[in-house]
Amino acid sequence: MVHEEDQVEMDSTEMWYIMTRKQQLQSRHTLLLELQGFLKNNNLREGSFMRKEDKELSELEQIEQELQALSERETELRNEKKQQSTITEITEESSATVQKPSDEELSPTTPEPEVVKVVDLSFSPATVQCPTCQQHVTTEIQYKVGKTSFLLCYLSILMGCVGGCCLLPFFLNYFKDTCHFCPSCHTEINIVPRI
């Protein structure tokens, strides 16, 4: 049983590698074809991706051969997977003691986000129960100029930053208050001040 699981894991890893490598090769192939067309249009000397000698394969031909080999291996893996699933189905049907898992067991269990109290909101979106529409929602945030921005502006003026640097707190979100809004009813849930 462990051997079959290891084989399935190796097959899925190899399938992932094949798909990733095919994407890389297809991107490289497209780029080389565009470069080749550009060079031909501008009557420039063709680079290393073209055939230098008849014995040596060009980079384009190497890419095409590797893509062909990867496609063949991908087809083999898909056929093996179909055969394994067919064997598994036959085994399950013939065995009276094997029980099919329920839909709840098959569905991935993702932990639900923790519901935060409205008074405990922070500077990032959180899951809360909206006081207006009573739904559990993940809040949307917006930034508003607050007391912190004005305080920093005044402090920078007192320190001699009069040439426009004193206005930075009004433009940077880090110094603004965070306002949480409900995405369903669009009401303001809470404002979290910076200080």
Domain presence at residue 63:
yes
Residues 67 and 136 occupy one common structural domain: no
> Do 8 and 77 share a domain, yes or no?
yes
Per-residue pLDDT of the chain (195 residues; tens, 9 = 90+): 446 666 666 667 777 788 888 888 888 888 888 888 778 777 766 554 455 544 446 788 888 888 888 888 888 888 887 777 776 666 655 554 555 566 555 555 555 666 667 667 778 888 888 888 888 888 888 999 999 999 998 998 898 887 788 888 889 888 899 988 888 888 888 888 887
Pair 63, 9 in one domain: yes
Residues 132 and 185 placed together within one structural domain of the fold:
yes
pLDDT at 32: 83
Predicted TM-score (pTM) of the model is 0.41
pLDDT, tens digit, 9 for 90 and up, residues 102-127: 655 555 555 566 666 766 777 888 88
Whether 119 is covered by a domain: the verdict is no
- Report the domain count for the chain: 2
Q: Is 149 part of a structural domain of the chain?
A: yes
pLDDT of 150: 92
CA dihedral 32, 59, 26, 82 (to 10 degrees): 170
Check whether residue 136 and residue 71 sit in a common domain. no
Looking at the fold, whether 133 and 62 belong to one and the same domain comes out as: no
Is residue 98 situated within a structural domain? no
Q: Which domain holds residue 132?
A: 127-192
Phi and psi, residue 137, nearest 5°: -135, 160
pLDDT score at 100: 58
pLDDT at 54: 44
Q: Both 66 and 131 in a single domain?
A: no
